[in-house]
Structures are given as C-alpha cells and as structure tokens.
C-alpha cells in the first residue's frame, strides 16, 4: 500500500507555544489530505479536509485560527496548533487519499500519528 | 443517526480461530465505499480492506474478508486463522458524499484480543 509519513511522532511543548505537524505522501500524489484527532480509547474525529492549493475545509466546532492547515504541494500538508493549551493534548493523525480511478477506489492511507502533550 | 455502528466494544478469539467483527452503516448516497482499519497499541492506522458499493463480490485480502450485505447495510470483517498479532482496535469506516464533498466517517471501534 501507499506510504504516508507523519512527523514528529511525539511532541511535548509548553502552553502558549505553537506546534507544527507534517504529513507527507511518499510514493503518490495526494490532492486531498485529512487531519483527524483521536482521544484515548475513542474513534477518529475528522478535523479538516486539506486541499492542495486552496483553503482547508473545517468540520463544525473546529477552530480555524487554532488549527492552521497548509497544503502547499501534492505531497505535503501541515497542521499547526497555535498557542497550544493542555486541552489540545491529543493524538493527531493525518491521512492522504490515493485515487485509483481505473479501479474506482479512493483509499485513505494514514500516517503513524503524532502524540501532542501540552504542559 | 450514527453513520457507522460497531456494536462490539470488545471481542475475544482463540488463536487460529476465525472471528467476525460487526459493522452497519447508514447513507443515502448510492455511491460509497467501506473500509476496515487496524490500529495497534502503537497508534498507526493500517488499511486492511475496501469494498465499493457497486462491487458485486465480497472483498478479500489474505486472511481478511468483508461480508458485504448491501440490503442489510452491513459490512462485517471476517478474520480467519487469528494470530496473536491480530490483537488491536479495528475500525470500520465509510466514505460517502456529505454536504457536497466526500468524507470518511469512522465507527467507534472494536477491541480484538487473541488468546493463545
């Protein structure tokens, strides 16, 4: 399957600082990437859909100014948690969609996730 | 209404036995896709299997097969010959068009534990 790289895998930061998380599709181009948040023992909650060259589409309840998403190229999307606070501590996972038009499949592959701890 | 429902929060299976993880879904979109992902304790989401709404045959990938019953809106995952390494959280997910764009929704997951 396709490979999605997410970095860093773990970050600890002080309250009030900003943290950037990178998501790269390594062996395919992804016009669309997705950012999820997962609380312990819960399912994945979609935060936003990131489209290359345009603004991200945020889900209801997700603060656009808090979670800045940039999708500058077909292989890279970044999520910046601005002015992080302890309640932002969570597991963030990105995914990229590989479109296999001939097979009529749109499969989302996931990065390994980033555990953010805000002190 | 829940779009994806996984009614089994936890399951046990004996090693080498088969196990079925349940998933039901709800959508009015005629074109949709169903996925199963495995999430080990390390956190990464591993893609297992995909079923398109128009696929005539049930999807199979090695020891994984998807029992797709369209009329009942169910997409159960069957794992044959369970191995200890299969112990993990399993999420069912559906891609459909909602609010004008495609979106993937995840179920709440089933924790599978394989017993030696």
When CB atoms are compared, the residue of B52, B103, B107 closest to A104 is B52
User: Around Cβ A29, how many Cβ atoms within 10 Å?
Assistant: 12
CA atoms of A73 and B53, how far apart (whole Å): 31
Q: What is the pLDDT of residue A117?
A: 96
Whether pLDDT at A29 is above 90? no
Please spell the DSSP secondary structure of A2-53, one letter per residue: --EEEE-SEEEE-TT--EEEEEEESSS--SEEEEEEE-TTS-EEEEEEEETT
How close is the nearest chain A Cα to the Cα of B45, in Å? 6
Q: What residue of B is the nearest CA neighbor of A110? A: B45
Interchain proximity B107–A113, CB inside 8 Å: no
> Count of CB contacts below 8 A, A vs B?
50
CA atoms of A4 and A82, how far apart (whole Å): 24
Residue B30's alpha-carbon distances to B52, B53, B55, B70, B96, in angstroms, are 10, 7, 12, 11, 9
Return the residue in B30, B47, B92, B109 with the most chain A beta carbons within 10 A, the one to mutate for interface testing: B47
Return the residue in A43, A55, A57 with the most chain B beta carbons within 10 A, the one to mutate for interface testing: A43
- Give A43-57 pLDDT, tens digit per residue: 999 999 988 888 899
When CB atoms are compared, the residue of A46, A105, A115 closest to B52 is A105
Whether pLDDT at A10 is above 90? yes
- Give A91-118 pLDDT, tens digit per residue: 999 999 876 655 556 788 899 999 999 9
Cβ atoms of B88 and B112 within 8 Å: the answer is yes
Interchain proximity A43–B43, CB inside 8 Å: no
Q: Residue A42: pLDDT band by 50, 70, 90 thresholds?
A: confident
Q: What is the pLDDT of residue A102?
A: 53
């Amino acid at each position: 399957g396709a490979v999605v790289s997410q970095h860093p895998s773990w970050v600890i930061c002080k309250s009030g600082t900003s943290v950037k998380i990178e998501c790269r599709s390594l062996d395919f181009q992804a016009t669309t990437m997705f950012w999820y948040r997962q609380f312990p023992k819960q399912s994945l909650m979609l935060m936003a859909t990131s489209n290359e060259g345009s603004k991200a589409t945020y889900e209801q309840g997700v603060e656009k100014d808090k979670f800045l998403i940039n999708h500058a190229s077909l292989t890279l999307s970044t999520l910046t948690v601005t002015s992080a606070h302890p309640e932002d501590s969570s597991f963030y996972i990105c995914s990229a969609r590989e479109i296999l038009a001939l097979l009529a499949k749109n499969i989302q592959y996931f990065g390994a996730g980033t555990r953010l701890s805000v002190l | 209404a829940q779009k994806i429902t996984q009614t089994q929060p936890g399951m046990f299976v004996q090693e080498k036995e088969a196990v079925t993880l349940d998933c039901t879904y709800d959508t009015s979109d005629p074109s949709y896709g169903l996925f199963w992902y495995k999430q080990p304790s390390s956190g990464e989401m591993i893609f297992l299997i995909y079923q398109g709404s128009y696929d005539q045959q049930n999807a199979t990938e090695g020891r994984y097969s998807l029992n797709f019953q369209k009329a009942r809106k169910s997409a159960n995952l069957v794992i044959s010959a369970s191995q200890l390494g299969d112990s993990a959280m399993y999420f069912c997910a559906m891609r459909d068009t909602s609010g004008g764009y495609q979106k993937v929704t995840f179920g709440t997951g089933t924790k599978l534990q394989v017993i030696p």
